[in-house]
Amino acid sequence: MAVVASKLEKDILNLARIALSGRTQDVMQMVHRMAKAHRENAPELATGLVDLMREAPTRASPLRRQTEAVLPTDADTRFSLLRIEETPTLDHEPIFAAELGKSLYRIVEERTHLEALLTAGLEPTRSAIFTGPPGVGKTMAARWVARSLNRPLLILDLAAVMSSYLGRTGTNLRHVLDYAKSMQCVLLLDELDAIAKRRDDRSEVGELKRLVTVLIQEIDDWPATGLLLAATNHSELLDPAIWRRFDHAVEFPMPDLQAIKAFVKAALTSHMEKSDEWAGIMAGAMLGKSFSDIDRDLKSARRLAAIHGGDLATYLKDFIRPDQMPKPERITLARTLAGEKLMSQRAAHEFTGVARETIRGEPSKPRAKPGRKRKQDGEAQLPFGQR
């Protein structure tokens, strides 16, 4: 019993020491550790600590507004280091692949069931890294997570935060992370590979290697009250130690046919009739492109329709290249365009080069061999030498 009392006294002293330093996130960490450590020997204390964490001041409360830090800026340019979206919004609902959707929903679900985790002595996911090629929805996913949690989204572009004086980049990074730690938010570190490269990369100067160490320390100290996300297009460049610091690694694949169709339909529904049919046509034509590239093409077609008038479908056709399709795909395209009444058979023939008989599904007529006349019905068959 004396050992338990001694442990509790040490925890209380440490908690008081941290509280006097004014670092709210460290106080929350210590309170969580105490609740977990004393669940068996002091259940009432542990329950009370869990209740305090659950009732902790939110970012919108008067107490939070009084203690909110000054927005960090670059010492050279005085420009803000962060883009802040107080209430993240999306043009339309994102399209997630099955496994990707599970990972993102899991992160949100943990935060929305925080009480159950705290009662079990557990913390929610504190950090996750998003990897994948450009334009596949990493930033949009961060925005979706922040919106789902009803929290502001803070975006730090690490390629832009690099100061002309490398020694200040580490200071900039610490200022941003300390600012984000002071509130309940979602922080996105975009272009992580800009500073988190392998420390054995001989092409990098020593200062950049020290930045990796700074980043590792900051990720380790990240409090459970906030959510730290990072995004990179070049995961192969990252220092291996960075990977181990994140609770989750979430891979963003290139969109498949079904994902593209859903994305195009969502983007066209309010702008044209038969958006579902055109989404199916455009999905095949845009396979292999990222969501960002597809969105750019669709907006380009809408701009042309707005300027020159006419049906949006007229301008969508510019992104379909029948001449580059194998013959079976051209036939399928022509039959779909005519069958769904998106074009007349004649227009589908002119657009794809597929014969109208083929579009209708009729068998092709036999063609006479050159230089020989076809035998007429009833014509007598003469011996070979008398023909």
Q: Can you tell me the mean pLDDT for 362-381?
A: 53
Output the pLDDT for position 166.
54
Closest Cα to residue 232, out of 129, 141, 103?
Answer: 129
Residue 29 has pLDDT above 60, yes or no: yes
Measure the CA–CA gap between 104 and 125, rounded to whole angstroms.
Answer: 11
Phi and psi at residue 361, in whole multiples of 5°? 85, 15
Residue 203 has pLDDT above 60, yes or no: no
Residue 68 has pLDDT above 80, yes or no: no
How far from 172 is each of 98, 162, 166, 204, CA to CA, in Å?
37, 8, 10, 19
Measure the CA–CA gap between 8 and 1, rounded to whole angstroms.
Answer: 11
Residue 100 has pLDDT above 90, yes or no: yes
The SS3 of residue 162 is: coil
Give the pair of three-digit tokens for residue 33: 């550790």
Q: Rounded to 5 degrees, what angle do the CA atoms 303, 307, 311 make?
A: 75
Give the pair of three-digit tokens for residue 78: 């005085």
Query: Domains of the chain by range and CATH?
Result: 7-56 (no CATH), 67-251 (3.40.50.300), 257-360 (no CATH)
Q: Can you tell me the mean pLDDT for 100-125?
A: 90
- Residue-wise pLDDT tens digits, 221-274: 888 888 999 999 988 888 788 888 899 999 999 999 999 999 999 999 989 989
- Residue-wise pLDDT tens digits, 267-316: 999 899 899 999 999 998 899 999 999 999 999 999 999 999 888 999 99
Output the pLDDT for position 66.
35
